[in-house]
Amino acid sequence: QRFTHEQTYENARVFAQQHGMPEHADLFGRAALVAREPDRFEATAGILDDERAALAYERDHKWHGPWMLWYSISLCAIGAATQGWDQTGSNGANLSFPEEFGINGTGRDEWIVGLINAIIFLTAGLIGAFIVDPLNHYLGRRGEIFLTACCLTATPIGSGFAKSWQGLFAARFVMGIGIGAKNATVPIYSAEMAPARIRGALVMFWQLWVVVGIFLGFCANVIVKDAGPIAWRLQLGSAFIPSFILLLGIFFCPESPRWLMKHGRHAQGFQSMLRLRAHPVIAARDFYYSWVIYEEELKEARGAGYFSRLKDCFTVPRIRRANYGASTVMLAQQMCGINIISFYSSTIFENVGYTAVQALYASLGYGAVQVVFTIPTLFLIDTKGRRTLTLAVSGLV
């Protein structure tokens, strides 16, 4: 620890005064002392009784938080469900739309159907993922999520009204861009809002709610199965439901405190943090600690632009190892075939002798299995660790 008790207190007071929060100077001073020795707050001099009680309650109640924190996390969950529903809308529609558009033959027709299904992941990776950084920089987390929610509300509806396979392809092409941009932002937004003690579990909400979205998509496929010739249109179009909820709900969420801090809007960032924490001293502790970490990051990345940061993914040893590890896991997930099942399970079941209705119900069961086996990770990720879980299950993949 580079600073004494007194220096830590005074540095935090100066931070508050220099960044438009002089009325909170003493609060930040006390919060910095808590952040300096988080496990010894009960013995830290100068902490008020109500602050000590709030910190003790936080320690003893891991999942305690204000309603705005859980509202915002719920919106992030809906953002994840959007992806899952977008995937499975085409699952049931695959049984009908090829015949509607005269592409139910073999050879070239099979390639067209495959391209219509796969294009959302192609454009997500090749376009959507690469526009995330500038969109986040200029629009913020909330603005970027709102924009992509608009895209993912319009494109399923466009898919449902498609008059040709080319029109369906175009709608899903744009949908993929929205998926790629949203998928890279929602987990970041969730992590930047979440308290450190439950951050791993809350970020795991992403995977849980992706599979919940897959399950809900299968439910929608079953619900509209008797709608006749328009059933496939309803199956594709129903994916607008979660993205429309996300579009409306994101207006009521606070902006990411870290994003506001990064753009020099510290007072606004602290106000956001106050809405996301159960007590002002907890908000000040987390906000000041984030600022200290951010300042250290700035020293390492001073003057780095977009392409420089992209280069760091491969040249900085620590980042490169994390990048390789994460990329390997994702490549393994894609190549093991699980996402192919999400797109084609109904078609596969029909090809092995199930009726169309039986195939839809079998796919619903597949979606339910994914939900059941994702839930345990919520309770294990913060106790066993990310690395341990990854090593434990990689062999199964």
Between vectors from CA 339 to CA 108 and to CA 151, what angle results, nearest 5°?
A: 85
| Structure tokens that stand for 86 in this block | 């977008």
In the chain, where does the domain assigned CATH 1.20.1250.20 lie? Answer: 67-253+340-394
Architecture of domain 67-253+340-394: Up-down Bundle (1.20)
User: CA 384 to CA 31: how far, in whole Å?
Assistant: 29
Cα distances (Å, whole numbers) of residue 183 to 93, 125, 189, 246: 24, 10, 10, 13
Q: Tens place of pLDDT for every residue, the chain, 397 residues?
A: 578 888 999 999 999 999 999 999 999 999 999 999 888 888 888 899 999 999 999 999 888 889 999 999 999 999 999 988 988 888 889 999 999 999 988 889 999 999 999 999 899 989 998 899 999 999 999 999 999 999 999 999 999 999 999 999 999 999 999 999 998 899 899 989 988 888 777 767 778 899 999 999 999 999 999 888 999 999 999 999 999 999 999 999 999 999 999 999 999 999 999 999 999 999 999 999 999 998 887 777 666 666 777 787 888 888 888 888 888 888 887 788 787 888 888 989 988 999 989 999 999 998 999 888 888 877 777 667 677 777 777 777 6
| Structure tokens that stand for 338 in this block | 């699980």
